[in-house]
Structure 1
Amino acid sequence: MKPTTKPWHDTIAAPETRAAALLSEMTLSEKLAQLGSYWPRPEEPEAAGDVAPMESAFDFARRPFADAVTEGLGQLTRVFGTVPLEPAEGMAVLRRMQSEIVAASRFGIPAIAHEECLTGFTAYRASVFPAAIAWGATFDPDAIGRMAAAIGRDMRVVGVHQGLSPLMDVVRDYRWGRVEETIGEDPYLVGTLGAAYVRGLQSSGIIATLKHFAGYPASKAGRNHAPVGIGPREFADVILTPFEIAVREGGAGSVMNSYSDIDGLPAAASPQLLTRVLRDTWGFAGTVVSDYGAVAFLDMMHRVTADRAASGAVALTAGIDVELPETDAYGRLVPMVESGALDEAYVDRAALRVLTQKAALGLLDPGWSPVPAETGDGMGIDLDRPENREIAREIAEKSITVLSNGGILPLGREPRRIAVVGPSAGEPRTFLGCYSFPIHVLARYTADGTGVPVRSLAAALQETFDTSTIIHRPGVPILESDRSGIGAAVAAATEADVAIVTVGDLASLFGRGTSGEGCDAEDLTLPGVQGELVEAILATDTPVVLVVVSGRPYALGAYVDRCAAIVQAFMPGEEGGGAIARVLAGDVNPSGRLPVGIPRTPGGQPGTYLTPPLGRFSDGISNLDPSPLFPFGHGLSYSSFRYAEPRASATRVPTDGAFEVGVTVTNIGDRPGDEVVQLYLTDEVAQVTRPVRALIGYRRVSLEPGESARVTFLVDAERTVFTGVDLQRIVEPGWIVLTLGRSSEDTAHQVRIELTGAVRAVPAPVLVTPARVEYASSPDR
């Protein structure tokens, strides 16, 4: 592009100023083109299945690329994440498409290129990091931020601008297939880790996209795309809170709507949600993009509009700025504007936001290039750098959670015969989430490829222990009801000193796996006949270490008293095999904490730990005990930690005040270890029912043997905020209890605080609880 004196090329001016100048010169069709997108989808592999909901249903609306870009284009959809392309090939395709878009547009405006990036850049040969549910198990925002920055760097270097991550959805039903894509069941954990991801990704120049706004995980019966029946308080205090943290604290640049209809109103058609809450209350200034096909679903699925053009008008008016993955409804809006059925001001509003973002990204600059100049032709570019794998290893190790241990762990290195039994041990893809490239795309082209090196657990154990002592027998498949291998597995276990039994999930899409989008579960029984395998091995009387590699929690109550130890690994990514092996051997001291509870039985469970008193066990009222087998926040270490009595800086605090509460933690074990100090709030009496206990702060702290640290939380009174009787957010006077401990059920260390003064309305409360760590008793600090 030749340098000009056009005001939108002025790199000194503010992005919005440049965008407004450009917008003023554009025709209605050109403005609408900036609100559309194009997906370069090839012919799908035979019987491969869709990668987006009802993807094939939209084929009739597709246009040739040259026709789609005649007036310009807002976004390019998944150039790298649709088919297996070597990085250099993907960059060549992106350069060609961007060149055609610029040449076709009267103003030479490029498109924003977006990709998925939840478990890493969803591209061939790119690193596959642990699934989001594993991030939750780390309780470590710094590590998640570093991971996101690494993902962003790889995306930016090949010419991508926007990433469709992270999910800010809060788990409400463990049967939902997309539990693996969430960070957990607590809004504060989801919000703070999600905000760390946002900051990390955007530090590398990639726009982060919060999804799915909002209500998606609260679907009835845990079914994908099912209606959401939820009260306004739960919606405000649980569902919306993580998004608010990621907007106000993380500075997210984009938001994607949810497919859900909440109490009859689809999120894609809700001005209350997409404009009044998101923008007017929270101050969000970025773009709202539609989930794939969500605008069309207003007439196809929800049936709240009569046709596709009406769907476009409703979505645009509500606040969706860009239609993804391809222009359909928004391409039909010219007649509606010209007839006066749709105010052109809504088109201008959305186009200004899109162009402002393009200006901020440098897409309107003279001399702009589709790929950063320093990237060159992309030959030899490494999207799975050693630095990436080191971060993947760190997060995997920090996420692995020891649930129970009768003393058998760590196994150590002394010679012993080990039977490695179960379907997860030999299948490295069990470590990968459904939005990783090997599962999401590559699986449609090859049955067993991963694109990057991923060691199986069996291989990792053979490397960690003496190979002559390891016998591997899969026993059963992950999903199919094939019992023919159980006998061989039992024989191997019978001859062994210890049996490592590995069970769990294999992710896929829309029912093709046991976890992932559209892979919802009827109950929380282990998939297939894996439970029968566990029972058969337990019957041998060989000590069993049960290792669950999964994307959701499964009911383990039938096995817990008979296993020597149970370990939970939530889809730990490309370095997961080695991480699990090192935890079992004792090379790594486990420090993962549960981001979701582990149920005792397959049914009769509550939504999550975040429940009011009536959600707890009520002896004499109901015969069902919903108590989890292992609670939110639980996890064991090979070290022991002692908590001193907590202390608060005050016992009476005004409702507009703040106070500190802290506890000293000492490592009384014989090895270094990490402890996760968790701060929970109980509101003793409130005008509406409150959760019995809710996480409001946490801090991971590393301690040498004998070392102590004082962990102090700064608690603003606004951290007690909730939605009251009149649906206003309030801080209410009264007694609160703060619990500092190792899980949501560890109540040994508490302080009581009285909040004094008047009820306060707080529309934009303090959202986070800072913590500081002061070390003592260590010569090394």
Structure 2
Amino acid sequence: MTLEEKQAQLVGFWVDQGDEVVAPLSGEKRSSTRYEEASAHGIGHLTRVYGTRPVDPVERAAWLWGEQRRLQRETRLGIPAIVHEECLTGLAAWKAATFPTPLAWGAAFDPDLVEQVGRAVGASMRALGVHQGLAPVLDVIRDPRWGRVDECIAEDPLVVGTVGTAYVRGLQSEGVHATLKHFVGYSASRAGRNHAPVSAGRREVEDVLLPPFEMAVREGGARSVMNSYSDIDGVPLAADPTYLTGVLRDRWGFDGVVVSDYFSVDFLRSMQRIAADKADAARLAITAGIDVELPSPDAYPTLASQVREGVLPESVLDAAVRRVLAQKEELGLLDADFGEPPSAIDLDPPEHRAIARRLAERSVVLLGNDGILPLDPRSPVKVAVVGPNADSAEALMGCYSFVNHVLAHHPGVPSGIDLPTVLDAVRAELPLAELAHVRGCEVEGDDASGIPAAVDAAASADVTIVVVGDRAGLFGRGTVGEGNDVDTLELPGLQRRLVEDVVATGTPTVLVLLTGRPYAIDWALPPRRGAEGTIVGLGAVNAPAPVDAPAAERDIRRPAAVLQSFFPGEEGAPAIAAVLSGAVAPSGRLPVSLPRSAGAQPYSYLHAPLGGRTDVTSADPTPARPFGFGLSYTTFAHEDLTVAPEVSAGDRIRASVTVRNTGGREGTDVVQLYAHDEVASVTRPVAQLIAFERVALAPGEATVVDIDVPVERLAFTGLDGVKRVEPGRIRLWVGGACDDEETVASVDIV
């Protein structure tokens, strides 16, 4: 290969970008290179062929097949291009199924179902000639003020790693390479600001931020990784060989391809100011370990000349090219026959919608219920459905859904898929109800003129369903999403006022939250306290009030019930309606702590003893609801946690616990096993999730759940910087949330 041919394999090209801003800073004029010029010697990637604008999939496939044939015919080496697309909530293309956002994956605590999502998405991508998907996001949530929280899975690295790895397996089982992002530390930025510096210490990086990536590489076999935009302690990840080579390749044995996040190579020059020019930026990035520059040629077109000038060793260029060619060989591209493109394709088939429906149903979290739920679908009641998200399909979708990411730039273009709203779904679920719909207010803004009409509708109803929350978008377009970071965790706009005014009518009110982050809604929730008045775990407050409780006994200062749904996707509205009616029992659990205030951030349930509520400070970071919390329409008891008294450091913890459905309805519990290292050489979290499992039980049914956990899950980075398991006593417990020690045992690591 000539130097130009090698260089060509290390860049992508955004053929169809045009003037649309669908990625960070893509509106800036970055490169004058024409596609014909860039691909004269071949090309590494074609960027977002389907996902840049609403193009008919069959027509676009015909173009793509023809372009791949041209590359085979008209370039000397005849190497086709890798085609990559976004696939965070499904293939981000017109008419393709939109699944729940990753934060909903975490809420479902169901890796097997997420693997099915990955397989479904991968099948659609492969049918369209797409080879690489830019997902999953394995950033551990550290601050809910960060705009990209809806793209993340959880604040717990085990949940992130387990669920994210399941998605990797599903996607790659269909012959599409998954891309892990954003490696590493992106979510730990100061004050939750996008692209902001990261000040994480070595122990936080090693023990919290890296494990999900390691799991996806070692256990999931992920074939691609994308760098973080941020810097850690002053070193941008795009130029840091410590992580891109030392950790990823040398320590973990990763032999796949590292691609740059869009424009991040040139950001070394234009934003982070550690490179003098594009050539300098390219040299730093490829030396650190970034093989391919995306989305288009920007800095890497300087590589060939740098080799000729003796500035860059050709061996560095060759190493990256070998990895790209190995990936193309693995994908079958080097021997591909681009004969007939698909003549028809359904990107939203019934089986995909069925998977989306199940995941949406299992991700709904019931945060509070005084007995008003479930609603009786056979009752001819008057129902007021109010709120800015009640009749909005966009409110069901995440930032990287095609609807919010691309179609927002094409007003008037239909979504191409069936997208019922919550109002539509409630109308279908409660056929005998008399429905009134009033918007009340917008998601953003200070126009209160519609609130009186909403109050009147609520006052005339038997029950009110008020649907509020977020509108996902990018860089100031919306309330959550990439670049939409916040300094408050109050509901946007006048939505809290709308809810409080509706509740004040005395009509029992069900609050439904459609959001991409957790909000500070403690004002909407009943106190989580026991008989002594102290804050307790779920076990003491799980039972709802009697369904027939008289209105006089209701607390009219708060909604009668609160449902949290994190952007549940195309089938989200029917899923929510099914939970409201009781056709589906809620089984979701909080994958992220529900904050009490923005001032307590950043907060994680994985805090050390002095990171929680203490007597030495008047500030209280205790969340309104803890990680792992979630109610159902029945109750569960966890009893008789047993474990062998001793286990060796290289062995496995084998525990068992009895789970009993103590209520009158069928339901699904999420069994959560937590651990705490009672005495360690460094401070350890007061609670650490080490295992979880969904268990469905009939009324009165009990089962023994066996849990098998490798002791290494309790390893941490010691004083010498080495990760190891230390001897000592570990307290274990199972309960309804991280702070609910319902049944307790201990084991000594020897």
Aligned pair partner of 2:694 in 700, 712, 719 = 700
The answer to whether structure 1 residue 353 and structure 2 residue 328 are counterparts is no
CA contact (8 A) 1:255 1:288 kept: yes
Identify the residue that residue 486 of structure 1 maps to in structure 2: 451
- What's the offset of the Cα at 1:142? 0.4
Q: Is the alpha carbon distance of 1:448 and 1:459 closer, same or farther for their aligned partners in structure 2, counting shifts above 3 Å?
A: farther
The answer to whether structure 1 residue 643 and structure 2 residue 638 are counterparts is yes
Identify the residue that residue 362 of structure 2 maps to in structure 1: 398
Identify the residue that residue 496 of structure 1 maps to in structure 2: 461
- What's the offset of the Cα at 1:602? 4.0
Identify the residue that residue 27 of structure 2 maps to in structure 1: 56
Q: What is the identity, as a one-letter code, of the residue corresponding to 1:527?
A: P
Q: Is the alpha carbon distance of 1:606 and 1:298 closer, same or farther for their aligned partners in structure 2, counting shifts above 3 Å?
A: closer
- Map 1:95-106 to 2 at 5 A: 95-106=65-76
The answer to whether structure 1 residue 593 and structure 2 residue 593 are counterparts is no
Unpaired stretches in structure 1, ≥5 consecutive residues: 1-25, 757-781
- What's the offset of the Cα at 1:308? 0.3
The answer to whether structure 1 residue 535 and structure 2 residue 529 are counterparts is no
CA contact (8 A) 1:473 1:489 kept: yes
- Map 1:591-740 to 2 at 5 A: 591-619=587-615, 621-648=616-643, 650-740=644-734
CA contact (8 A) 1:554 1:598 kept: yes
Structure-2 separation of matches of 1:495 and 1:522: 37
- Classify the secondary structure of the residue corresponding to 1:364: helix
- Map 1:47-86 to 2 at 5 A: 50-57=21-28, 59-86=29-56
Aligned pair partner of 1:378 in 339, 342, 347 = 342
CA contact (8 A) 1:188 1:695 kept: yes
CA contact (8 A) 2:380 2:433 kept: no
CA contact (8 A) 1:558 1:600 kept: no
The answer to whether structure 1 residue 40 and structure 2 residue 15 are counterparts is yes
Q: What is the identity, as a one-letter code, of the residue corresponding to 2:505?
A: T
- What's the offset of the Cα at 1:247? 0.6
Q: What is the identity, as a one-letter code, of the residue corresponding to 2:337?
A: S
Give TM-score scaled by structure 1 length: 0.90
Q: What is the identity, as a one-letter code, of the residue corresponding to 2:24?
A: P
- What's the offset of the Cα at 1:604? 2.3
Deviations 1:706-734 (A, max 9, x none): 32222111122212100111111011111
- Map 1:153-164 to 2 at 5 A: 153-164=123-134
The answer to whether structure 1 residue 289 and structure 2 residue 259 are counterparts is yes
- What's the offset of the Cα at 1:377? 4.3
Structure-2 separation of matches of 1:527 and 1:449: 27
Deviations 1:25-64 (A, max 9, x none): x11111111111110134336xxxx21111122x341322
Aligned pair partner of 1:369 in 326, 337, 345 = 337
Deviations 1:301-335 (A, max 9, x none): 11111110111111001000100000121111122
- What's the offset of the Cα at 1:104? 3.1
- Classify the secondary structure of the residue corresponding to 2:408: helix
Q: Is the alpha carbon distance of 1:213 and 1:60 closer, same or farther for their aligned partners in structure 2, counting shifts above 3 Å?
A: closer
Q: What is the identity, as a one-letter code, of the residue corresponding to 1:495?
A: S
Aligned pair partner of 1:579 in 560, 575, 591 = 575
Q: What is the identity, as a one-letter code, of the residue corresponding to 1:552?
A: R
Q: What is the identity, as a one-letter code, of the residue corresponding to 1:458?
A: L
Structure-1 separation of matches of 2:412 and 2:392: 12
CA contact (8 A) 1:667 1:704 kept: yes
Identify the residue that residue 246 of structure 1 maps to in structure 2: 216
Q: What is the identity, as a one-letter code, of the residue corresponding to 2:463?
A: V
Q: What is the identity, as a one-letter code, of the residue corresponding to 1:415?
A: P
- Map 1:42-441 to 2 at 5 A: 42-44=17-19, 50-57=21-28, 59-365=29-335, 368-370=336-338, 376-413=340-377, 414-441=379-406
Structure-2 separation of matches of 1:86 and 1:704: 47
Structure-2 separation of matches of 1:378 and 1:709: 49
Structure-1 separation of matches of 2:743 and 2:412: 52
Q: What is the identity, as a one-letter code, of the residue corresponding to 2:407?
A: L
Structure-2 separation of matches of 1:183 and 1:262: 22
CA contact (8 A) 1:606 1:626 kept: no
- What's the offset of the Cα at 1:341? 1.1
Structure-1 separation of matches of 2:214 and 2:670: 24
CA contact (8 A) 1:606 1:615 kept: no
CA contact (8 A) 2:191 2:602 kept: no
CA contact (8 A) 1:166 1:211 kept: yes
Structure-1 separation of matches of 2:413 and 2:65: 31
Structure-2 separation of matches of 1:715 and 1:443: 45
CA contact (8 A) 1:418 1:500 kept: yes
Aligned pair partner of 2:472 in 481, 504, 507 = 507
- What's the offset of the Cα at 1:482? 1.3
Aligned pair partner of 1:551 in 509, 512, 516 = 516
- What's the offset of the Cα at 1:749? 1.1
Q: What is the identity, as a one-letter code, of the residue corresponding to 1:369?
A: D
- What's the offset of the Cα at 1:232? 0.6
Q: What is the identity, as a one-letter code, of the residue corresponding to 1:129?
A: F
Deviations 1:581-608 (A, max 9, x none): 0100100011001101111234324422
CA contact (8 A) 1:233 1:723 kept: yes
Structure-2 separation of matches of 1:222 and 1:447: 34
Structure-2 separation of matches of 1:518 and 1:189: 25
Structure-1 separation of matches of 2:16 and 2:319: 30
* Structure 1 residue runs of 4 or more that deviate by more than 4 Å after TM superposition: none
Identify the residue that residue 748 of structure 1 maps to in structure 2: 742
Q: Is the alpha carbon distance of 1:339 and 1:43 closer, same or farther for their aligned partners in structure 2, counting shifts above 3 Å?
A: closer
Structure-2 separation of matches of 1:319 and 1:515: 32
Deviations 1:442-476 (A, max 9, x none): 11011674221110101110111136511111100
Structure-2 separation of matches of 1:467 and 1:504: 28
- Classify the secondary structure of the residue corresponding to 2:600: coil
Structure-2 separation of matches of 1:488 and 1:686: 59
- Classify the secondary structure of the residue corresponding to 2:437: strand
Structure-2 separation of matches of 1:513 and 1:331: 36
Structure-2 separation of matches of 1:657 and 1:136: 28
Residues paired across the two proteins, number = 718
Structure-1 separation of matches of 2:652 and 2:160: 24
Aligned pair partner of 1:563 in 559, 564, 567 = 559
- Classify the secondary structure of the residue corresponding to 2:419: coil
CA contact (8 A) 1:605 1:627 kept: no
CA contact (8 A) 2:476 2:483 kept: yes
Q: What is the identity, as a one-letter code, of the residue corresponding to 2:742?
A: A
Structure-1 separation of matches of 2:254 and 2:732: 32
Deviations 1:561-589 (A, max 9, x none): 32211110000000011000010010001
- Classify the secondary structure of the residue corresponding to 2:467: strand
Q: What is the identity, as a one-letter code, of the residue corresponding to 1:106?
A: R
- What's the offset of the Cα at 1:501? 1.1
Once superposed, what is the RMSD of the aligned Cα atoms? 1.3
Q: Is the alpha carbon distance of 1:615 and 1:470 closer, same or farther for their aligned partners in structure 2, counting shifts above 3 Å?
A: same
Percent of aligned pairs with the same amino acid = 52
- Classify the secondary structure of the residue corresponding to 2:523: coil
